[in-house]
Amino acid sequence: MENKTNNNSLEINARQMAVRILTRVEKEGAYANLLLRDSLDEIEDPRDRHLVSSLVNGVLKNKLLLDYALRRHLKSPMSSFPYELRALLRMGAFQLLFLTKIPAFAAINESVNLCKNIKQISGHNYPALVNGVLRRTAEEGWDFAWPDKNKQPWRYLSIRYSHPEWLVKRWLKRWGAEETEQLLKANNEPSATIIRVNTLKTGREELIAKLQSLNLKCTPIDRLPEAIRLEDFSGVEGLDVFKGGLFTVQDESSQLVAHILGVRPGQRVLDTCSAPGGKTTHMAQLMQNKGEIVAVDINPQKLKLVEQLAGRLGIDIIKTVESDARKLEGIDDKFDRVLVDAPCSGWGTLRRNPEILLKNPNLEDLFYQQLSLLHSASSLVKEGGVMVYCVCSITKQETREVVKEWELDKGKEWEKLDLGTGEREMIIWPHQFLSDGFFAVAWRKNGKGKTK
């Protein structure tokens, strides 16, 4: 996208991009983080990148609240409008309610002008509708009636923090009102960009110095030796230090997995659901690029992502295999370490992937898929070897219930390991650690055995 010297033009272009992304997320079920990654590569100006990210993530995280605020000024339901108009109205309301540094008149005028320029909605009288609705939204501000928090806590929390009622009810039943509200609030907080140093090419302090020389604010994360937090930055893929393989993007919780598995140089490791390769390449780093990792995925296109990431990071011990990990056909050898990073609802990643709130996954189907993965993978662990099961979710059905069911069959053969915290299961809550929600458990096959 061409940079503009005029701020109004720059912001219109940023808003146009945000509308396109929001429309595709709602209409096609696309993932906002992937669309943002590809779109932000086109933008050089950091103000433009920041505005696009703020608008997209802000609207997705506050969709139910924005619709609630807009609803009282609309004669027709939001669902009756074209997707582009829905995105535009929500984006305008988000700016009026949340982005206080943008003057109300500017947010309204730019929304009206943008409505005229979007082909799908320009041929109707929508600019007048946008103007009227957003002006009334600006006048009312936050002064509107909320559902009664005491009589209908699920409805109040659902609208206030833009989580679907069915999910809020589930969490209220499990954790109570106070804990649930803290969790919902944390999910709506902005997520920093967390990167993992590629220790095969550089050290953390050396990389921090390089990033600071680019005027990027970054700090080491003490509890993880390879982790760095980047503040207020997006579009890392455009940096030369990224292209040169000095780091990759990976959340804190995800970076724990390779350490929990305890990989060592020279071992044979199986990663049963490896794409897109973050945990796979992290294990290779800790193995000093010595040994072998068999990276399995059912999707050949996703396996290419693993290969591309390994190539950029300078890793050559990863062998990709296309296979259904519930069967692992063609893999007969035993492994020192096995990772089951199972497909899940992703409800632990709502800070970074708010579009997940638009979906309602079938937890029963996921449960049986996760259990099948554990049964299949466990047969390939050597005597004395270690297997880790993990998901980026905090639902009971995908965590403790899966583990309990698997152990009913395998308990005598396996010893559940202490994860270094005095606990034999690790669960990370977004509101307590300000990272992705995450669950992990590790077992050793026949505790009397030894691994090299």
What φ, ψ does residue 2 adopt, rounded to 5°? -70, 135
Single out the catalytic residue among 218, 344, 390, 392: 392
Q: Is 115 a catalytic residue?
A: no
What's the rounded Cα separation, in Å, for the pair 39 and 196?
23
Convert 4-21 to b/e letters by CB count within 10 Å (16 or more is b): eeeeeebbbbbbbbbbbb
What's the rounded Cα separation, in Å, for the pair 139 and 151?
28
* DSSP one-letter code for 236: G
What's the rounded Cα separation, in Å, for the pair 190 and 185?
11
- Say whether 182 sits in a helix, a strand or coil: helix
Residues belonging to the chain: 452
Convert 274-308 to b/e letters by CB count within 10 Å (16 or more is b): bbbbbbbbbbbbbbebebbbbbbbeeeebbebbbe
What's the rounded Cα separation, in Å, for the pair 293 and 11?
46
* DSSP one-letter code for 125: S
Beta-bridge partners for 292: 268
- What's the first-to-final CA gap in the chain, in angstroms? 53
Query: CA–CA distance from 275 to each of 33, 197, 310, 313, 325 (Å)?
Result: 16, 19, 11, 15, 12
What's the rounded Cα separation, in Å, for the pair 319 and 297?
11
* DSSP one-letter code for 355: G
What's the rounded Cα separation, in Å, for the pair 337 and 304?
23
What φ, ψ does residue 277 adopt, rounded to 5°? 110, 5
Query: Would you tell me how many other CB atoms lie within 10 Å of the CB of residue 245?
Result: 19
Which residue in 77, 81, 94 sits closest to 121, CA to CA?
81
Beta-bridge partners for 322: 297
Which residues are marked as active site?
392
